[in-house]
Amino acid sequence: MNFRSDNEAGAHPAILEAVARALGPKGGMAPSYGADEWTQRVERRLRDIFDKHDLLAYPVATGTAANALALACCTPPWGTIYCHPEAHIGVDEANAPEFFAGGAKLTPVPGPAGKIDHRLLAAAASQPVYGVVHHPQPAAVSITQATECGTVYDPDEVASIASTAKRHGLKLHMDGARFANALSFVGCSPAEMTWMSGVDVLSFGATKNGALAAEIVVFFQPELAREFEFRRKRAGHLFSKMRFVSAQLDAYLSDGLWLANARHANQMARRLVAGLSTLKGAQLLYPVDANEIFVILPPRAHDALQAAGAKYHSWPSDRPGERAYRLVTAFDTDPADVDRFLSIAKQAA
Minimum distance, C-beta of residue 105 to a second copy, in the bound complex (Å): 5
Residue span 198-227 as binding mask against a second copy, x where in contact by CB under 8 A, dash where not: ---------xx---xx-------------x
DSSP conformation letters of 20-88:
HHTT-SGGG---STT-SHHHHHHHHHHHHHTT-TT-EEEEES-HHHHHHHHHHTT--TTEEEEE-TT-H
| Residue whose CB is less far from a second copy, 93 or 292 | 93
**Closest CB to a second copy among residues 79, 114:** 79
Cβ–Cβ under 8 Å, residues 272 and 327: yes
Specify whether the CB–CB gap between 65 and 237 falls below 8 A.
Answer: yes
To a second copy, the closest distance from the beta carbon of 118 in angstroms equals: 20
| Closer of 300 and 313 to a second copy (Cβ) | 313
Q: How far apart are CA 296 and CA 303, in angstroms?
A: 13
**Which residue of 94, 187, 309, 321 would you call a contact of a second copy, by CB under 8 A?**
94
Q: Which of residues 302-341 bind a second copy (CB under 8 A)?
A: 316, 332, 334, 337
Residues 6+ apart with CB under 8 A from 173: 67, 70, 71, 74, 81, 140, 141, 142, 143, 199, 200, 201, 202, 203
Nearest residue to 67 (alpha-carbon basis) of 91, 97, 94: 97
Q: Is 185 a residue that touches a second copy (CB under 8 A)? A: no
* Residue 38 CB, nearest approach to a second copy (Å): 12
Give the footprint of a second copy on residues 140-179 (CB under 8 A).
none
Contact 155, 194 (CB under 8 A): no
Q: Does 256 bind a second copy (CB under 8 A)?
A: no
Q: Which is nearer to a second copy, 157 or 292 (CB)?
A: 292
Q: Segment 268-287, which members bind a second copy (CB under 8 A)?
A: none
Task: Please give the residues from 9 up to 68 whose contact with a second copy meets the rule CB under 8 A.
Answer: 9-11, 16, 19-20, 23-24, 27-33, 60-66, 68
Contact between 119 and a second copy per CB under 8 A: no
Residue pair 43/251 in contact by the 8 Å Cβ criterion? no
Rule CB under 8 A: choose which of 239, 286, 312, 325 binds a second copy.
Answer: 239
Using rule CB under 8 A, residue 235 touches a second copy:
yes
What is the C-alpha to C-alpha distance for residues 29 and 281, in angstroms, rounded to an integer? Answer: 59
Q: Which of 8, 48, 51, 339 touches a second copy (CB under 8 A)? A: 8
Shortest distance, position 62 Cβ to a second copy, whole Å: 5
In the complex with a second copy, the residue whose CB is nearer, 37 or 154, is: 37
How open is the CA angle 64-65-70, to the nearest 5 degrees?
Answer: 105
In angstroms, what is the minimal distance from the CB of 49 to a second copy?
A: 24
Residue 345 host element (H or E):
helix 335-348
Give yes or no for a contact between 180 and 262, defined as CB atoms under 8 angstroms apart.
Answer: yes
Q: Which is nearer to a second copy, 195 or 244 (CB)?
A: 244
Report the SS3 class of residue 113: helix
